[in-house]
Amino acid sequence: MPDLTIKQAQSQVDQWIRTIGVRYFSELTNMAVLTEEVGELARIMARTYGDQSFKEGESPDTMADEMADVLWILICLANQTGVDLEEAFRKNIEKKTLRDKDRHSSNEKLKR
């Protein structure tokens, strides 16, 4: 499978929603779903890298799927609100690069 751009991902999600998903959930519902999905990812991260252990039936094997769920619903929200995530991400990298060009390299906490 060839690489997928963010723009292509937004288009694929929109096509899926319009053909299989019938319609987008409301923006507020999707925001709640995003929060839910982030929580599911956080649970796996806490059990994999933190101090908690997995409950019976839970597995770290679902981490990638949970990350994809977060990305999916974020793309839905971007589509619904007219955000071009590819352009927004490009601008975000530029902002961070300008703002933090010396910040992290001079942070003594990161040199430990």
The whole-number pLDDT of residue 102 equals 82
Tokens linked to 110: 């990161």
Q: Which long-range contacts (CB under 8 A, 24 or more apart) does 38-44 make?
A: 38/70, 40/66, 40/69, 41/66, 41/67, 41/69, 41/70
Show the domains of the chain with their CATH numbers: 6-85 (1.10.287.1080)
Q: What is the pLDDT of residues 43-102, one digit of tens each?
A: 999 999 999 999 888 888 899 999 999 999 999 999 999 999 999 999 999 999 999 888
Q: What is the pLDDT of residues 12-26, one digit of tens each?
A: 999 999 999 999 999
The whole-number pLDDT of residue 74 equals 98
Selection from 62, 29, 31 nearest residue 45 by Cα: 62
pLDDT at 1 over 80: no
Q: Would the pTM of this model clear 0.85, i.e. be above it? A: yes
Largest Cα–Cα separation, the chain: 52
